[in-house]
Amino acid sequence: MDIQSLAEKFKRRPTDVIGIDISRSEVRAARIRKNGDSFTLVAVNVLGSIVSPGGSLDQPETLVPLILPSKLKAKYASIALSGKNAVVKILSIPGAFDDSAIAKVVDNLNLDNPDEYRISYKLVVEGHGRSESRAMGVALPATQVSGVVSLFHTGVPAPFSVEISGLATMSAFLHGPAAAHENDAVGVMDFGEESSTFALFNKNVLALVRRFDVGTSDVLRKVQESLGVDMETAQGIISDGSFDISQSVGEVMDPLVKQLIVSRDFVERRENCHVSKLYVAGGLVVSKDSLDEIRSSMELEVATWNPFDGMNMATDAIPRELVGQEWRFTAAVGACLATFEETA
């Protein structure tokens, strides 16, 4: 073992991480400690927006400081962003995933100006001989990354990683419900505020990932227009089902669901599998009409999950007002778990 390998082996790994899921309207945070193979949820909370009125995550000058309660101050922060204008693709590259294949990742992402993005990849399937390697390539606008990282320029937590919220949700799924699907195919859908991420797994191997410019804000705007109500009232109507908004929801969801069906059918043919269940996360899990639209159109079971299942819980880890809303922290939890996984 060389000196560098020895140093890597004994380098202190993060065991205390806060996952920070940032959207335009709010910040969802979950602090998790790792002890051996077990995880303890220390605290969660929903914080206000870091974006000034009229600003955006693409404009670092419009971001305001993020103030964390003491219970949420871990040593490291794993940050998840909605990732507007991000690019995510499954790349198929002939042969082994060697240095020459890695060099092709940027080219295969088809970016107009790669210098304007922070680019990374994750190997999904290692090719051998004539078989293909499959990797997921990700490109995040550099201004978004530098903007949020600048919020942590001193003190704790120190920024450890930045990723897309929808992909963080996939990490949470792989550490949770995926254990029950080692021999079948399932889908996972994350409904973000401005965009949504859809993935299909066959025997827990990523087979497809797509992003759509449709999010919870689109459904909310449609309900506002249809009923002539403000945003807060629209949010309440979507959650409690006090009005029949199935037509409004259908107008937004129908084009998206058609794309999901095309993607599902493509994977079933290519992988010779059958997708029988779809797990959903994000803002639309509270919308019965949205879930019914997916369930009836795709003719499959739609389910949610609790990202804290299987974790130890510190005293008062979840504020009383957030009990029952565990789904809001799926991406934040996934960001933490991905950090523990990458450094294990």
Span 11-68, pLDDT tens digits:
567 899 999 999 888 999 999 999 998 999 999 999 998 888 888 887 888 888 888 9
Measured from the Cβ of residue 282, the count of other Cβ atoms closer than 10 Å reads 24
Least confident of 116-130, 204-218, 252-266: 116-130
Please give the angle made by the CA atoms of 140, 143 and 146, to the nearest 5 degrees: 95
Q: What's the pLDDT tens digit per position in 303-312? A: 999 999 999 9
pLDDT of residue 1: 41
Q: What's the pLDDT tens digit per position in 241-290? A: 667 788 888 888 899 999 999 999 999 999 999 999 999 999 888 888 88
Residue 111 and residue 120: Cα distance in Å, rounded? 13
Q: What's the pLDDT tens digit per position in 284-295? A: 888 888 888 899
Is the confidence at residue 3, as pLDDT, over 50? no
Residue 52 and residue 64: Cα distance in Å, rounded? 7
Mean pLDDT, residues 314-335: 95
Q: What is the DSSP string of 215-258?
A: -HHHHHHHHHHHHT--HHHHHHHHHH--S--HHHHHHHHHHHHH
Could you give the residue ranges of the DSSP H alpha helices within the chain?
3-10, 99-108, 142-149, 165-174, 216-227, 231-240, 246-271, 288-298, 330-342
| Residues forming beta bridges with residue 78, ordered by sequence position | 19, 161
pLDDT of residue 11: 55
Residue 157 and residue 170: Cα distance in Å, rounded? 24
305 sits in the region (left: phi over 0; alpha: psi -120 to 50; else beta) called beta
Q: Are 333 and 30 spatial neighbours (Cβ–Cβ below 8 Å)? A: yes
Residue 265 and residue 233: Cα distance in Å, rounded? 37
**What's the pLDDT band for 93 if we cut at 50, 70, 90?**
confident
Is the confidence at residue 4, as pLDDT, over 60? no
Mean pLDDT, residues 194-207: 95
Indicate yes or no: pTM above 0.85: yes
Q: Are 57 and 24 spatial neighbours (Cβ–Cβ below 8 Å)? A: yes
- Cβ contacts of residue 161 below 8 Å, gap of 6+? 78, 79, 335, 338, 339, 342
Q: Which amino acid does the sequence have at 38?
A: S
Report percent pLDDT > 90 for the chain: 58
Domains of the chain plus CATH, in order, are 180-304 (3.30.420.40)
